[in-house]
Amino acid sequence: MRKAIVLAVFLLAITCSPALAKADISYLQNVAQRSVQITFNGGLDGVCLWGETPALGKTTIAVHDPDTEMSTCRLDGLEPGTLYYYNTVANDKLISGSFTTAPDRDNTFNFVVIGDTRTDHVGHQSVIDGILQYNPSGYPDLFFNVGDMVGDGGDKDQWGEFFTTELEILSNTIFIPIIGNHETVSKHTWFDSLFVQQRHYWFKYGNSLFIIMDTEGRYGPNNEQYQMVADALEQAEADPEIVFKFVSTNRESPAAVTAPTGPSSSTTSTCSRNTTLMSSLTATTTSMNMDTSTEFTTW
């Protein structure tokens, strides 16, 4: 039985605070069945100690980015759907975490969606605490923030506060950031430097296709982003392992994004900070239940 659990949470923001260099930061990105990337701060000589047990046993040297003051380890040769433990170490700063690699088609996984965290740090922290308390497995497999993560994407202090608030969940869950208008409010945004993915892309995870869109960018026929979505849906339609299709945006989608017509029983739904997410999930639950057991939980 395949089961997708979706927790959708929305915050409205309001308030300001530690720079990236001073904050405790560790987050996981770009997961696949046999690889993942760990980004953390602490200095030039960073390393990642990791393994399939808390005893760790393997070491990967980090690549340091002086612009963001972050270091990144890419771990390769991993096993699909497997739990790994790790420590990031830099200048006597140690942060421990864990992650699970992308699963096979038939394995259960869950993910959480939040948005509009901005500068309400107290409210932000309460939501993170609630997610950690609710999630039955301890940590979700994927963690989406659908944009407006900070009030001003060019303010390093706000990013430091963001990562500090989300340290526990980001160091134990694969993070999927979606760019919003507040990430681009300044001429320079740290979004593109902090996260390895492009502003729009797609990835396969288990039995699902996830499309990440940039509603601050251009979208229309013959446009790169439009073609990316079309190509992703076309490939998903030809992939018998894909059961679900999810589209994540900050604002309402710039155009309707639906699966190609045909005999497939898979479903496309939209995850954005707009309240249309609620009706979208409700509308798709029945058709999903025809093929698999699906639980949608909203707060």
pLDDT tens-digit map of 167-221:
999 999 999 999 998 988 888 888 888 988 888 889 999 999 999 999 888 777 8
Q: How far is 22 from 134, CA to CA, in rounded Å?
A: 30
- Give yes or no for a contact between 99 and 82, defined as CB atoms under 8 angstroms apart: no
Q: Which of 35-39, 44-48, 293-297 has the lowest mean pLDDT?
A: 293-297
User: Of how many residues is the chain composed?
Assistant: 299
Residue 66: pLDDT band (50, 70, 90) is confident
Q: pLDDT at position 217, please?
A: 83
Q: Which of 24-28, 94-98, 254-258 has the lowest mean pLDDT?
A: 254-258
Please return the burial class of 240, using the count of CB atoms within 10 Å of its CB with bins 0-12, 13-18 and 19+. Answer: exposed
Mean pLDDT of 27-52: 93
Q: Which amino acid appears at position 32 of this protein?
A: A
Mean pLDDT of 98-110: 90
Mean pLDDT of 84-97: 93
Q: pLDDT at position 216, please?
A: 87
Average predicted confidence (pLDDT) for the chain: 79
What is the percent of the chain with per-residue pLDDT over 70, rounded to a whole number?
Answer: 77
- Reply yes or no on whether the pLDDT at 293 is more than 70: no
Q: How far is 19 from 11, CA to CA, in rounded Å?
A: 23
| pTM, entire model | 0.79
Residue 79: pLDDT band (50, 70, 90) is very high
